[in-house]
Amino acid sequence: MSRGTAARSPLGALTGAMFKGFVRDRMTLFWAVAFPLMFLVLFGGVFTGQDEAPKVDVVQVGAVPVLDDLPAAARDSIGEGLDVEKRPGLDAALDSLREGDVDAVVTQDGDDVTLHFSQADQVKAAQVRGLFQAVVQIADQAASGQAPRFTLSTEQVEDDSLEQIQYVTPSLLGWAVAMSATFGAAANLVAWRVSGLLRRLRLAPIRTSSVVLARVGVSVVIAGVQAAIFIGLGVGAFGLKLTGWWPLIVPLLLFGTLSFLSIGMLAGAVSRTEEGAVGLANFVVLPMAFLSGSFFPLDGAPTWLRAVSSCLPLKHLNDGMLDVMVRGQGPSALLVPIAVLLAFTVVLSAVAARVFRWEA
């Protein structure tokens, strides 16, 4: 109950009041927590799996030693793309191939391996021919007893090498944190100014910085809750695999929050109405989210777009998040993102302080 004996500090009281104001507002809760989560479920859950090439269904009629005697290692790698089913009759198998129920039929007669395929699905046709080329080569090598002279190792350059969920969790989390920090600060500042509460607070024996610090505290807590929910859901439901240094997101969340709070403070300082502030925040954060690769990677984007992107604080927040959460990078990966975020914070909050108004 309220019959407390000791007084809370002004900062504690302001933080408590702001936090209650936040959690009691269903709309802000929705935008800060439920809305980004919907994106996570959408990008992480529904679209997952489309990344991998679909398997080819192959019917094997009779004994096919090149397949049956495939070395274990090769079987593993080739088997990933291949679903082999044994059936007795060749004619029936060819019928299902013509009808498109399977992608290829394979038989072997002595040293002759015959692959029947259908050109109806050209991608599958190419895929299955490539696969069997490899199978036959491996068998050839095994028969000749020679070690292979060349080896091929493959490395993909795009972030597509990360599974979808590995990419979207850190990037969407960056966007969610940016959004709620910006909106929270902008809407809060304007609402308090319009209601006259800022004037009232001006007469209370508190430091102006207490009001700002309270907002920082609330936004950092919100960011922490967002991170916990995102990571919990990602790991628990969508198979997100975190790499060793993932707790380094804590400083990233802190500096990201500060940076976007200062954007929000600026939006709040120049806006007259709450709607105006939220609109302005939207106008800044939404395009920035696209340009920073929060929703999809920018690897295919033109160079100039990527140059623009690298000037944006959200891009660096996302990069940092990806580095420590899923790319297995360590503390050194924080240096650039934190430096950029801090620079934005310093500059924008200095501007916000200059244009700050107590009264509507």
Partner 1 sequence: MGAAITVDALVMTYGSLRAVDGVSFDVRPGEFFGLLGPNGAGKTTTLETVEGLRKPDAGSVAIDGYDPWKRQPELQRRIGVQLQSSAFFERLTAREQLVTFASLYGVASGRADELLEQVGLTDKANSPVEKLSGGQAQRLSIACALVHDPEVLFLDEPTAALDPQARRNLWDFLEGLNDSGRTVVLTTHSMEEAEVLCDRVAIIDRGRLLKLDTPQALIRGLDVATRISVVPGLVRPHEARAWPGVADVVESDVALVIETRDPGPVLAALAERDALEGLAVTKGTLEDVFLSLTGREYRA
**Site residues, partner 1 (CB under 8 A):** 2-10, 12-14, 16-18, 20-21, 24-25, 191, 195-197, 199-206
Q: Cα separation of 119 and 294, whole Å?
A: 39
Residues near 141 by beta carbon (within 8 Å), at least 6 away in sequence: 147, 148
Nearer to partner 1, 196 or 247 (CB): 196
Minimum CB–partner distance for residue 297 and partner 1 (Å): 40
Question: Residue 347 to residues 77, 260, 351, 352: CA-CA distances in angstroms?
Answer: 52, 12, 6, 9
Minimum CB–partner distance for residue 234 and partner 1 (Å): 31
Both structure tokens of 237? 């439901």
Minimum CB–partner distance for residue 358 and partner 1 (Å): 8
Minimum CB–partner distance for residue 194 and partner 1 (Å): 10
Nearer to partner 1, 98 or 200 (CB): 200
Q: Cα separation of 344 and 341, whole Å?
A: 5
Both structure tokens of 3? 């019959």
In terms of DSSP H, where are the helices of the chain?
10-23, 26-29, 35-40, 65-68, 72-79, 90-98, 122-144, 164-194, 197-202, 208-238, 249-270, 274-291, 303-309, 313-325, 335-355
Nearer to partner 1, 1 or 73 (CB): 1
Nearer to partner 1, 88 or 205 (CB): 205
Question: Would you say 309 and 293 are in contact if contact means Cβ atoms under 8 Å apart?
Answer: yes
Minimum CB–partner distance for residue 337 and partner 1 (Å): 34
Nearer to partner 1, 10 or 79 (CB): 10
